[in-house]
Chain A
């Protein structure tokens, strides 16, 4: 389980954030001693840091810089209510991996976190589903050396369901995922894409693998 450290001094926000992250299957660490923040961070050794800019003592940007100066390459997402471009540019130049302004859409935050972990892991160029090999970048599914082409939207939906295999994915999260990938589709289009994906999967022998849970979402068996 990946460990995420939250560096945020507003308690309510910190609690909500930690709620969101632990519900999404991450181990949550919290920084409480801002005086020795850098030593604390090194001691806790997280896999990812969510860093606010406006924190007591050393501010977020300075903290990030001193971490990077010490050759600590833990990925960092800046979470801030600052609306100034200069803060974003500064954070990125100090080595932040992403920069998100408050208030943020929770689904988007989770997607961005996920992106960073995906980037860190040795990324395979294909995913597996039973005896299917899925190549997201090429837009094809391979079964017994036979290639089946699917559209970008269908691929996004399939990979998202596959990454959350066995648990219910609600429509809204799926929608956020598509919009975050520059596919601004509407409700009808989502329904159409899912039924097309179902039909294509049925053609290669995977009938009824995407189950609709009324009022909840979809589930990939």
Chain B
């Protein structure tokens, strides 16, 4: 609150005061008082007027300056009221109480929404749990029928995508970072996609994956599975292969998933991690645009890095970087 703006706001007081002074002077002149007394009374009244004005200004200035500064510095603006003391002047008090009331109301609303979200998440988890029972039964019933198994696997993948979507949109993080062997995670992904890979004659090459990684095995399995599923979906017509390579670096372990599939065009590439983005490859087909978005989100939560490079018609390469103990990426 600048002094000039404050004074501008108090313009009405000046006008009234000046009018009052004029009337006062005329009145004193009419009383035939000596000019020194008139000057004294005028100056004295003016000083009193300014004292009142400045006292008021400084009292408010302290509160409003603090208010604006905190509003500026706060990350979560809604916490503002928690950071202020109740001021000792009327307008401030009213503002403070109003903010407090609004804040409480907002809090109630947010916690209600949070509760709803939590309920929804719990329901989804339960539902997925339930839907897996018939899926497991069907898998056992059709164990000799590869085509049915491949379709069942598609359902399973789609169901799992919802699960991870709900998990990653939710504030609470139910993952557990521990040391796992990358080879086992890659093996699970390979076994899940075995029927597809064999039926579509895509060669899978796995190199140097006997490495320890600090991650959540289920999450990483989901991420690698998404990428491999994409490679399968957008394969070339012949001589397709997918290559998964582990590399042990000083501060991190990287997993590279390389395929010689259709690739991604230059214009699509920067947007593949965006939610519901479907590029030229996916448009009009079975793409939901969620797969890579989820990979990115989950990687960020786990503190891993995911990067994608590609050349249209030649290859797609995804690199996941998992940091080692003490080198955790805190950005």
Contacts and interface: CB of A to CB of B under 8 A. Distances in A.
Contact of A184 (B141, B175, B176, B204): B204
Contacts of A82: 129
A133 B172 CA distance: 57
A186 B198 CA distance: 6
Given A81-B128, A85-B176, A12 B194 contact: no
Given A13-B140, A182-B206, A85 B218 contact: yes
A61 interface: no
Contacts of B46: none
Contacts of A105: 139, 191, 194
A184 B243 CA distance: 11
A187 B194 CA distance: 11
A85 B175 contact: yes
B191 A108 contact: yes
Contact of B136 (A85, A89, A103, A180): A103
Interface string B159-174: 0100100000000001
Interface centre among B140, B218, B219 (most CB of A within 10 A): B140
A106 B178 contact: no
Interface stretch (A14-22, A62-70, A124-132, A160-168): A14-22
A172 interface: yes
Contacts of B197: 184, 186
Identify whether the interface residues of A are mostly helix, strand, loop, or mixed. Answer: helix
Nearest to B183: A182
Interface in B124-167: 128-129, 132-141, 143, 146, 152, 156, 160, 163
Given A13-B133, A13-B136, A85-B216, A180 B187 contact: yes
Interface string B177-199: 01000010001001100100110
Contacts of A108: 191
Contacts of B178: 85, 89
Given A106-B139, A107-B143, A172-B146, A84 B133 contact: no
B205 interface: yes
Given A89-B176, A102-B133, 7 more contacts: A20-B143, A83-B218, A84-B218, A85-B216, A102-B136, A103-B139, A105-B191
5 contacts: A12-B133, A16-B140, A106-B140, A184-B190, A186-B198
